[in-house]
Structure 1
């Protein structure tokens, strides 16, 4: 990505944050290091990949670098400015302009993996529960959701995880992101 594109992404991100700080909940797009940490376990064998809140596409580009086919990407973005940018950058991906808690996927057999750039820490528990229930409704039995957070622990409460039969495992710490972030894998609890 060119420096000009990076600068324009940063300005778009900053304008979106200024307009809706709780929805965007970050002051800059995710770094390449965080994108690698979020997507390292996902590749072409994952099949369809669901991405919640792709923003300017930092994680989307990392998925493509990992060999995920663009037409296997399902991007869910509710910010109209980001959705327009994503439509231009990833024309073969399926773009759903809407809210992740009311997710209705087009005729997709199964989603092998999911990643989320959503600011779960700034959302009410019932919204987080609805988003996770929706994602795991579409996710293959052995599929996982990868979520990052700027907080000191998993952004999903133990209560919500238990209610949905899920577990969280810490994957990576990314200190060179602005701000530093942690990555968690959320999967079904086999017990």
Structure 2
């Protein structure tokens, strides 16, 4: 319940930017963070909102100082700073990551994204992925959830950026039900079939 009021305030202010009908559930948070361990750090989280994925990452053993949150909304940024002391919070548009020089190239292990990619332009999606993969290690992964029936990153963009997406699971214990995709560089992908 404590997430509903800040979520509703942000939704009323800019529903297109929030692009969700309710905060993400703990079940979705467990699924999207299921492949991240305390040994796979530092971690970047994009669009943390009320911080349900942040809490799941900390519960998986990721230390606060190994976690950076990129949040464009000032209301959510303040809420996150109050809830998660010691976690680095950067208030900015995630599509500008590539120019921000927040990390050394290849220094991050994983990225967890709560961004509403389905409501974004191809140019913005490319900016987010290019910027993030510029910071990820060669074997790093980008985890993205979606309410839709397929990966929210169009196949043309995956191909252009030499990336591959694999669905790692679906949860019906979210409103609406959601799937999680793992996006990796083509040359680091496993033998699983693309989504």
> What's the TM-score, normalizing by structure 2?
0.92
Match of 1:4 in 2: none
Paired residues for 1:148-159 under 5 Å: 148-159=145-156
Q: Secondary structure at the match of 1:190?
A: helix
Q: Which one is further off, 180-189 or 97-106?
A: 97-106
Q: Secondary structure at the match of 1:46?
A: coil
Match of 2:81 in 1: 87
Match of 1:135 in 2: 132
Match of 2:111 in 1: 114
Q: 155, 176, 179: which one pairs with 1:179?
A: 176
Match of 2:191 in 1: none
Distance (whole Å) between structure 2 residues aligned to residue 25 and residue 14 of structure 1: 11
Aligned CA distance change for structure 1 residues 65 and 108 (closer, same or farther; 3 Å): farther
Runs of 4+ in 1 over 6 A off after TM superposition: none
Paired residues for 1:18-97 under 5 Å: 18-97=12-91
In 2, are the aligned partners of 1:9 and 1:29 still within 8 Å (CA)? yes
- Cα distance, 1:108 vs. partner? 5.0
Q: 1:43-98, CA deviations, whole angstroms, 9 ceiling, x for partnerless residues?
A: 11111000000001000000011000111001000000000011111121111100
Cα RMSD between the aligned structures?
A: 1.2
Q: Unaligned stretches of 5+ in structure 1?
A: 1-6
> What's the TM-score, normalizing by structure 1?
0.94
